[in-house]
């Protein structure tokens, strides 16, 4: 792959400079954190990692089969197993229980797997630029690598005692990165990212849990070394298929996001008048939709699919605008996008395929041009959403989940059950999820563990129980993420967040109702306004 840095400003530096022109200094500091969290979907991620592992459907001679899920007996963690009982009673997402297993697990069935261990790695990134950014951002906002490692180790300790791993236990091996994480965010330092993946391989990694420090460059390098990874950057199924069975997403792939977006718009927004614009003259009018997206080829693929999904509901998009992450023209592009939408009388801007910082630029430019539409986006950590222009974002809805309070959060309770003491990293929901996905799939894979049986195990997990902190999980054939449903939230600048206190939070619409991604699943009420912004839900 070619670096995107040559001959022009890096995206991270460019973003900071652009934000400086739009936003006050107090917001600029926090915006640096958002920039760190952004990684573009690189169109150059095209090399298919060769798959050389066996696709054998049966167990090798001598390997003892796993008990059928729900077989009566006592689990390794002491739970009384039976039909429909989960492996651990405190998780909505655990697989169906199996009695404690004893037998031959096949020993070293794959790189990173022995008869007694399964090794996972975590790379600790460091660079002068990264250190500078962290030095001006309170640790209470994003936490540190050390905090993430402590949390992961706590979860692994608990899961090793309670999940069925067929005679093995998971071992975490952190290592110091050779790469400049910030450079990777610009598509650079590819050789160093590959060196990091080679270090993970030398540490005998079966999987890598560096989700907080993940980048598409590093994820691809891991796949090329036949190491499983969990990425928070989504993308289309076609991109994940290139690296199967090694890459999984901790957010919905864009095919699912598109289905949710099309359902909300096609069944509700397009059938009802404008109701949550910041411009009173728009409210009550027929909605006109515009889409803004990243011009990267994979995002273009996602956008084309979204327009088709909307068309299936009879919804025609008035205008679309692609944003190229080019440091020399981004400011001009953002201003032009806003002007284009304003000229086309777009009332509702669809921005579900963007990274986590572009809404900051869009809403600032909208303020400059006196444009106050409805916004339809995807939510993220409450603290990051406070960086967007609040007079704009107070008119935003999103596909997402309202954060759960600590006494309801499975991730928080699991950390305390592990015996860990002291504070928990503030981004703990994002740290907990890949660890949970890892152990779920390992148990479901059975004694003979390989990347291929891991994938089969992941895709055969049962639907989660209601009330989970991530919504419903229901992976199935062809899945690269676990998500089975979506819900809708709205942004309240005055709400108190369950994660980090006052200052704004995403709150549930329609009473927190969830809607299946499956075409045959539950449907959003047709022709009814959404119950957001304190309004009652559809009747």
> How many angstroms separate the CA atoms of 201 and 196, rounded?
9
Tens-binned pLDDT, residue by residue, of the chain (539 aa): 222 223 333 444 444 444 445 545 444 434 444 444 433 333 333 333 333 333 344 789 999 999 999 999 999 999 999 999 999 999 999 999 999 999 999 999 999 999 999 999 999 987 666 665 555 555 556 667 888 999 999 999 999 999 999 999 999 999 999 887 777 766 778 899 999 999 999 999 999 999 878 888 899 999 999 999 999 888 899 989 999 999 999 999 999 999 999 999 999 999 999 999 999 999 999 999 999 988 878 888 999 999 999 999 999 999 999 988 665 677 899 999 999 999 999 999 999 877 767 888 899 999 999 999 999 998 777 877 888 899 999 999 999 999 898 888 999 999 999 999 988 888 888 899 999 999 999 999 999 999 999 999 999 999 999 999 999 999 999 999 999 999 999 999 999 988 778 889 999 999 999 999 876 667 899 999 999 998 876 75
Q: Which tokens in the block code for residue 33? A: 């954190």
Residue 48 confidence (pLDDT): 37
Q: Are 198 and 146 in contact (CB under 8 A)?
A: no
Q: Could you give the domains of the chain?
A: 71-251+405-459 (3.40.50.2300)
Q: Are 148 and 122 in contact (CB under 8 A)?
A: yes
> How many angstroms separate the CA atoms of 371 and 362, rounded?
10
Beta strands in 12-91 (DSSP E): 73-74, 80-81
- Find, among 470, 418, 442, 37, the residue nearest to 211 by Cα: 37
Provide the whole-model pTM: 0.88
Q: What is the CA radius of gyration of the chain?
A: 23
Residue 325 confidence (pLDDT): 64
> How many angstroms separate the CA atoms of 234 and 399, rounded?
14
Residue 50 confidence (pLDDT): 34
């Amino acid at each position: 792959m070619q670096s995107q840095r040559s001959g022009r400003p890096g995206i991270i530096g460019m973003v900071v400079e652009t934000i400086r022109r739009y936003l006050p200094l107090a917001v600029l500091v926090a915006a640096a954190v958002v920039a760190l969290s952004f990684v573009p979907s690189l169109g150059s991620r095209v090399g298919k990692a060769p798959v050389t592992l066996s696709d054998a459907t049966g167990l090798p001679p001598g390997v003892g089969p796993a008990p059928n899920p729900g077989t009566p007996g006592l689990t390794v963690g002491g739970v009384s197993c039976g039909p429909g009982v989960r492996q651990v009673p405190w998780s909505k997402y655990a697989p169906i229980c199996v009695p404690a297993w004893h037998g031959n697990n096949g020993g070293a069935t794959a790189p990173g797997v022995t008869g007694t261990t399964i090794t996972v790695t975590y790379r600790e990134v460091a660079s002068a630029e990264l250190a500078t950014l962290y030095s001006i951002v309170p640790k209470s906002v994003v936490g540190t690598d050390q905090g993430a490692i402590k949390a992961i180790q706590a979860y692994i300790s608990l899961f090793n005692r309670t999940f069925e791993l067929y005679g093995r236990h998971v071992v975490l091996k952190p290592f110091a990165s050779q790469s400049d994480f910030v450079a990777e965010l610009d598509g650079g330092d590819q050789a160093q990212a590959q060196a990091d993946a080679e270090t993970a391989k030398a540490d005998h990694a079966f999987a890598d849990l560096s989700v907080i420090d993940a980048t598409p460059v590093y994820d691809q390098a891991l796949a090329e070394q036949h190491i499983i990874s969990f990425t928070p950057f989504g993308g289309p199924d076609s991109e994940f298929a290139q690296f199967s069975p090694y890459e999984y997403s901790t957010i919905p792939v864009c095919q699912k996001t598109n289905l949710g977006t099309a359902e909300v718009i096609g069944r509700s927004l397009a059938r009802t008048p404008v109701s949550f614009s910041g411009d009173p003259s728009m409210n009550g009018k027929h909605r006109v939709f515009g889409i803004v997206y990243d011009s990267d080829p994979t995002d273009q693929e996602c956008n084309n699919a979204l327009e088709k999904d909307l068309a299936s509901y009879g919804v025609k998009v008035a205008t679309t605008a692609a944003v190229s992450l080019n440091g020399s023209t981004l400011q001009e592009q953002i201003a032009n996008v806003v002007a284009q939408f304003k000229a086309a009388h777009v009332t509702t801007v669809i921005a579900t395929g963007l990274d986590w910082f572009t809404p900051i630029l869009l809403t600032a430019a909208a303020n400059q041009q006196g444009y106050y539409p409805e916004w339809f986006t995807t939510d993220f950590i409450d603290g990051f959403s406070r960086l967007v222009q609040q007079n704009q974002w107070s008119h935003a809805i999103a596909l997402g989940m309202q954060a759960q309070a600590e006494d309801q959060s499975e991730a928080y309770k699991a950390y305390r059950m592990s015996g860990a003491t002291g504070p928990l990293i503030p981004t703990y929901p994002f740290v907990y999820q890949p660890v949970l996905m890892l152990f779920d799939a390992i148990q479901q894979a059975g004694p003979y563990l390989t990347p291929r049986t891991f994938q089969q195990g992941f895709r055969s997990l049962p639907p989660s129980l209601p009330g989970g902190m991530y919504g419903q999980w229901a992976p199935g054939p062809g899945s690269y993420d676990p998500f089975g449903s979506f819900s809708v939230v709205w942004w309240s600048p005055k709400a108190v967040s369950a994660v980090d206190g006052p200052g704004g939070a995403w709150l549930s619409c329609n009473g927190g109702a969830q809607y299946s991604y499956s075409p045959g699943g539950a449907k959003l009420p047709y022709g009814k306004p959404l119950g957001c912004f304190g309004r009652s839900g559809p009747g």
